[in-house]
Amino acid sequence: METMMQIAVILSILNSAVLVFLIGLYGRMALKTRAGYSIGLVIFASFLLAQNLATVLSYVTMAPFFGTEALPFLMGISALEAAGLIVLAKITF
């Protein structure tokens, strides 16, 4: 597997870990407050977690099919998502 693809996989796994943390945090808020906004955040983060897990699976199983020209874009998408999720976790926590 190419180095950029490995970085994209690692970043997607990091994204998944941050999303699990956020789901737990938002879940506790939802249980305490019963606020619709917190419940919506749990649902949104859950869908985003499912997307990240599917991304990891597709990157690992289909790595040979991605052209080397696409790798910087795949890594960039994962990196931007990681940055956004880390900022969101920092603001939330």
The predicted-structure confidence for 23-79, as pLDDT tens digits, reads as follows 999 999 999 999 999 999 999 999 999 999 999 999 999 988 988 899 999 999 999
User: Within a domain: residue 18?
Assistant: yes
User: Within a domain: residue 33?
Assistant: yes
Which domain, by its residues, includes 62? 9-88
What does the alpha-carbon distance between residue 35 and residue 43 come to, in Å, rounded to a whole number? 13
User: Within a domain: residue 49?
Assistant: yes
| Between 93 and 52, the higher pLDDT residue | 52
pLDDT at 67: 87
User: Within a domain: residue 67?
Assistant: yes
Q: Is the pLDDT of residue 20 over 90?
A: yes
pLDDT at 93: 86
pLDDT at 66: 87
User: Within a domain: residue 93?
Assistant: no
User: Within a domain: residue 3?
Assistant: no
93-90-72 Cα angle (round to 5): 145
- The total domain count for the chain is 1
